[in-house]
Amino acid sequence: MTTNLKNALEVLQSNNYKLTKQRHSLLQILAEHEDKYIEITKLDQLMRKQYPKMSHNTIYRNVKEFQDIGLVEEQKIADKTEIKFQCDNKHQHHHHFVCNNCGKVQEFEMCPLDFFSDQLPGNQITGHRFELYGICADCVAKGVTA
């Protein structure tokens, strides 16, 4: 069992959620993709293979509950919604490098907000997202180029 899966089970318990076999399966799928985002539609397909009678609403509701208690983070690209385990439950404010080749996500803690807020005197910034995209070191070592 991965550390993320163990932590997720503890977070569920501490937030008084029952650990159903469906929730455990959902967390297991996320654990199998722990360093990458997975499209919600793919997650839905994988869950419905295991539980054909499980409704889409139940899957999406559980994902929303997982977001509410800080287990997963979400990104939206074009018309796709993707989720993954929260990189760091203690420091939810963080940013990512995402490999364009393999999809691996790496966390970095530097936040560029001060740089931008210094350039926008008098403005109130109410939120931000910052991600870098490129080719990860593993893919570069395999000869992949941008």
Q: Residues at the annotated binding site?
A: 93, 99, 102, 128, 136, 139
Beta-bridged to residue 97, according to DSSP, are 106, 132
**Annotated binding-site members for Fe cation:** 93, 128
**Annotated binding-site members for Zn(2+):** 99, 102, 136, 139
Helix (H) / strand (E) containing 116: helix 113-119
Long-range contacts of 12-20 (CB under 8 A, 24+ apart): 12/69, 12/71, 15/69, 17/65, 17/69
The residues, any chain, with a CB within 8 Å of residue 138's CB and separated by 6 or more, are 99, 102, 104
